[in-house]
Amino acid sequence: MDTGVKSRFALFKSDFMIRITGVNNNYDHGVNCDRTRIMKVVIIGAGGHGRVVLDILRKNHQFEIVGFLDSNPSLLHSFVDGVQVIGDLSMVSRFRQHDIGGAIVAIGDNKVRDKYATDLENLGISLVNAIHPSATIADNARIGKNVVIASGTNICTHVILEDSVICNTGCIIDHESVIRRAVHICPGVKIAGHVTVNEAAFIGIGATIIQGVTIGESVVAGAGTVILEDVPTFSTVVGVPARLTKTSHIPDLNQKIQASTADLEPVRSLVTRPVRIRPQPLASGPKS
């Protein structure tokens, strides 16, 4: 490699995203960590999405899964697919003590996932990606942090997936599309080339988006929707072709979003407050 190419490569790597290397070497993809040793990680959120993330991380031999963290006290000490719920987010303060190198926020709600991921990053916690080995990812696709790429997905050339994006089972994202922060692309979605899906949008199962379309922030696209044209911010579309069923004034919606996340304690305050739960051994428990 000549020097020019090398320095361009270094610059590209120092970008805010991790460069993806090797289409057929997906075990190595998108882990924001030292690849030479096993990293101990926790999964935040022990619900359905947490189970999906656990399954993917188990297939990636660079991680040791220490346990789940969940704010639901009734889940404490329970096992989810053989991995124990070891505490809530207050455990974050003890990561260093237990040599935990990172976390992944596995919460389906786009805004909540994004908020926790941001809080954790501000506390200096590394966020890792969960990329299924059966996913096919172009060499030059760029992938942020806290990203989930589920089984059978196809991420094509020059695609950008920003932080906290979920690309769910079997979805296809075609060339040069940009999927912004905290978007959820549901199973079986097909996105053509040059599409932009803006922050926190939810693209329902089996939806199709044709080339060049822009989907606004926080849009909800119903299951099976076929989107042929741009969709305005904060609206809901359903059907074939897509029709608008709801749209909201942005100030109203901003208030609504603030209200929906207002009762979420900032992770920082969880970390600094006295720990309410009895300290738990950080054992993964029996594997199922």
Ligand X SMILES: CC(C)(COP(=O)(O)OP(=O)(O)OC[C@H]1O[C@@H](n2cnc3c(N)ncnc32)[C@H](O)[C@@H]1OP(=O)(O)O)[C@@H](O)C(=O)NCCC(=O)NCCS
Q: Minimum distance from CB of 206 to ligand X (Å)?
A: 7
Site map 154..173 versus ligand X, x via CB under 6 A: --------------x-----
Structure tokens that stand for 68 in this block: 């789940």
Q: Minimum distance from CB of 150 to ligand X (Å)?
A: 10
- Binding flag, residue 223, ligand X (CB under 6 A): yes
- Identify which of residues 103 and 166 has a Cβ nearer to ligand X in the complex: 166
- Identify which of residues 238 and 250 has a Cβ nearer to ligand X in the complex: 238
- Binding flag, residue 152, ligand X (CB under 6 A): no
Q: Minimum distance from CB of 220 to ligand X (Å)?
A: 5
- Identify which of residues 57 and 227 has a Cβ nearer to ligand X in the complex: 227
Q: Minimum distance from CB of 266 to ligand X (Å)?
A: 27
- Identify which of residues 170 and 204 has a Cβ nearer to ligand X in the complex: 204
CB neighbour class for 14 (10 Å; exposed up to 12, middle 13-18, buried from 19): exposed
User: Cα(262)–Cα(265) distance, rounded to whole angstroms?
Assistant: 7
- Binding flag, residue 246, ligand X (CB under 6 A): yes
- Binding flag, residue 84, ligand X (CB under 6 A): no
- Identify which of residues 91 and 219 has a Cβ nearer to ligand X in the complex: 219
Name residue 30's beta-bridge partners: none
The 10 Å CB-count burial string (b at 16+, else e) for 225-257 is bbbeeebebbbbbbeeebeeeebeeeeebeeeb
- Binding flag, residue 71, ligand X (CB under 6 A): no
Residue 273 makes CB contacts below 8 A (sequence gap 6+) with 90
Contact 278, 94 (CB under 8 A): no
Residue 111 makes CB contacts below 8 A (sequence gap 6+) with 182, 200, 257, 260, 261
- Binding flag, residue 256, ligand X (CB under 6 A): no
Q: Are strands 226-227 and 208-209 parallel, antiparallel or unpaired?
A: parallel
Structure tokens that stand for 261 in this block: 């996340």
**Binding residues vs ligand X (CB under 6 A):** 168, 186-187, 204-205, 220, 222-224, 236, 238-239, 245-246
